[in-house]
Chains A and B, each alone.
Chain A
Amino acid sequence: MVWQGRWMMAGKWIVGFVLALGVFVAPLPASAGKADNSIRFAYDQAPENVDPYFNNVRIGVIIGQHVWDTLIYRDPQTNEYKGQLAESWKQIDDRTYEFMLRQGVTFHNGDEFDADDVVYTLNFVSKPESKVVTQTNVSWIDKAEKIDKYHVRVTTKKVFPAAIEYFAGPVVIHPHAYYEKVGPKGQNEKPVGSGPFKVTAYSPGKSITLERNPAYFKASPKAQAKINRIDIRFIPDRQTQLAEILSDGLDFIMSVPKDQADQLQAVPTLQVVSGETMRIVFMQMNILDNTPAPALRDERVRRAINHAIDREAMVKNIVGAGSRPLATICFPTQVGCTDEGAARYAYDPAKAKALLAEAGFANGLDLDIVAYRERNQTEAIIGYLKAVGIRTNLRFLQYAALRDVITSGKAMLTHQTWGSFSVNDTSASTPNYFAFRAEDITRDETVRDLLNKGDNSVDLATRKDAYKGALKIIADKAYAVPLYSLPVYYAAAAALDFKAYPDELPRFWEMRYK
């Protein structure tokens, strides 16, 4: 929308102006957040349903991980799996897992946690008719069976090596009696979980209040919350969020644009922290038989595009602290992700020009590029391409429209990003774009077979080997342009002690005021 663009520009200008005149900003009173040991947090989107199975937005994940628990917990610092609602687990065969459940855990409504909760939740969400929003989070579950009160067996539909990662991520456990009675609608209206915070007030689309759960089980790898209350407000406009934190109306915001984050550093009562996220940025090139850009079928052209872009300079000047350049299409900590042996393309515009000339494009060529976010980064890419003679026409679209263009085979170049749903396994990233799925505009059968092998093998060494092979071919044949990981900037009250993690999940249960 035109007004939205203008409004954002105006807002940036005004906030920038205010920050530049920092001395004229009235001194802040004692923080209301710190005064009553609460955190006032704003996010730009509201979840459609607080039940984690029925929303697909980041704020839904954040609320979900505070109100509910999962069977397993992945330590964000070491990536080590620890028991959460499950005390221990073991893999019986390729498709079967058994969980010994923790005793003495209670839900916020006082119900005691046991095998019935796990069995009911998993069997309910894995049924297609339950209409879970992100089917890939649950469609791999075949069934869950109760062995005894604290002992559960879960079977997957096929070999699914990333199962543990999902048990530690989106697969939260609901109290079965309550969930059976009220369903997802009732869980949205009055959420009940077992997590470190409980919902005490909720106004859909407007705000939600989480209060510390004093009865939270001590053995949880999530720390006991030190903060009494989190007041979450849904404020759609980022400029308004900035104005709120500048005027002490908020204590914590995230996804602050880099330029404004740089300026916020100068405000003494605030702190700005940036952290790498699992979201990777890359370019795809359409080399399908019916590609509208036949030039991209020439490997020399694709290599030229790879050489044309200065990833290091983009990371340093535009993307910001926490980001790192990438050489393959996956996030480095994901199981199976590696750039070992894969071709690397140093920034070398002269070589790019020479490759283009060799491919018969000495006078350059014209291509469309589709993008949907981080427009300033797309524009930098366009600048780099122009410098080597590739003239691009930018089509900046909404995500749904961008996907239409890609899946219908009408895209030439794309400027894409992918967050892997914070799943720390390569099966959640590379196959999306190279295993003949809807957004694969490369379609190399060898790559597909290797990725399928990685996705469906249980042996870790076999998986790693298969992914390594696929990633090497993608890089060597320059099927795509891996760019960098995206950071996220947080702005918070200076007195708040917190740490940023790659899964973009602020862990309020760890935070405290200094």
Chain B
Amino acid sequence: MTVDRFTLEIIAESLRAGAREMFITYGRTAQSPIIYEVLDMACGLTSVDSELIAEAEGVPGFIGCLSFAVREITDKFEPSSMQPGDIYATNDPYKGGGTHLSDVCLVSPIFHEGQLVAFAANKAHWTEVGGMAPGSWTTDSTEVYQEGIQLPAIQLFDAGEAIPGILDILEANVRLPRMTLGDMYAGIAALRAGERCVRQICAKYGHAALRETIATLLERGEQVARAALAQLPAGTYHSEMWIDDDGLSDEPLFVCVKVLVSADRFLADFTGCAPQAVGPINSTHVGTLVSVREIFKEVLDPDFPNNDGFFRPIEVICPPGTLFSAERPAPTSTYWETGAYVHDLIWQALFPVARGRLPVGHHLSICGTIVSGEDEERGPFVLVEPQAGGWGAAPGRDGQSGLVPAGDGETYIMPVEVCETRYPIVVDQFAFNTEPGGAGRWRGGYGLIRDYRVTAESADLTATFGRFKFPPWGADGGADGSANAIEIFRAGQAEPELRTGKVARLRLATDDIARLITAVGGGYGPAPEREPQAVALDVHNETLSPADAREIYGVALSADGTVDAEQTNVLRQQLQGGDRS
């Protein structure tokens, strides 16, 4: 070894700093709110062999996704003929893109003294890539052709010059070309930041030192993963779940996993899952690999800086043509509804041996919402945003309330004041959803309720709220949570006309209300074992009714709100007696 261990640390830190700089650059210059507000993106650097070596913390749903994009590009374009200033793009869901057409990956080679030394790559959700619906994703597409323009591993720039015509095609195929091209330029600025950083490292320490550092980092990643794997009890773990439906039919869809854990192997076998669906909830093989990477990292070592070495012990078995391995031209525009089940299945399967690392089930669905239309004052508008919900309890703690799902990360929900300024919408309430659900020794966190009242003449609502039929799971005696749901109230009506999990371009008129409800998370442990003081506090905070305190938790409160110990004893004996009978 020629690079001493401290220099190696410094180069490793510089690579991570480079990835972070890419991320910051992208977030701060992008045009799409979903990039700069939701941070729905990933940025990183790979080796010349397309192995991920450094990644900025992007949404967890994109962990380790960039290697697949770089591999697709290098499979198609010979790296030895690449030049500085070349830029490539892919959004092919069935290949390196791995998700849906809205997520566009950009890749550029990095050179030092004429030699290819690394790749910079990023992936981000561009708000508009064309297709049948504004905002490009929808819940009722049946073919990928309806979901936007496809960039099947193409070259955008040649030695710094745009390939003639390519940008024109892009511009002609999207509804908001200024925004789409703005996102592209922001992505390119991010690639440049990564390139600058790698070139500085090479100038300072030499290409050989970089190469050696990369090899060591990958090797170390693998060692750390295997060491953590050895801490888990070896064995086979199972889980089965039902996905609500595909958005077009009402049929629930079966999914399952068998996880094989041994000291040097982590095998996820999805054999037995439902075939790919007609509607757009399909996930592809690459998308499934990325979701497995996400939960693998969570279970083994959430803090270890991502690189491909860390993911080497993963193996995935999934026969082609299933919900988790859909093939062209299956639609994938709401892939995340299914992709989330990849990690939720493994999460539940491993929960008994990873209790210390993971809470029980949460609202899971990103609860993606699009409101679009035309406003007299503001012109055409498209509001695209995720929602936050209730997380599951864990041994020793209640679930978190109003938090983005596992697949999202540093994702903000749009402030009410910003929302009302930009869109013809009045938000009538934004509050915790404290409906019953998730009771336990430790209770689930609360979901949220957000009411959108339309002030324009009309607007269209598209939304996909998974776990509408099958609520978040509890464990060890804790109750399941409540459901995610969309409710539609016509102007002036007190009762909803519709309560559902998915809608596509539902027409809303002035003063109609779309109520977006997210689930309460799952509970952990039997409810009658919850600390009476904690129950009293929930009642005091008006998140639990005194009646539910008695019936669910067996806690009686005095007039002043304090625990009536004697009555509580009696109630709890009754509840436990009831359990036994």
Q: Do the two chains bind? A: no
Chain A residues within 8 Å of B, Cβ to Cβ: none
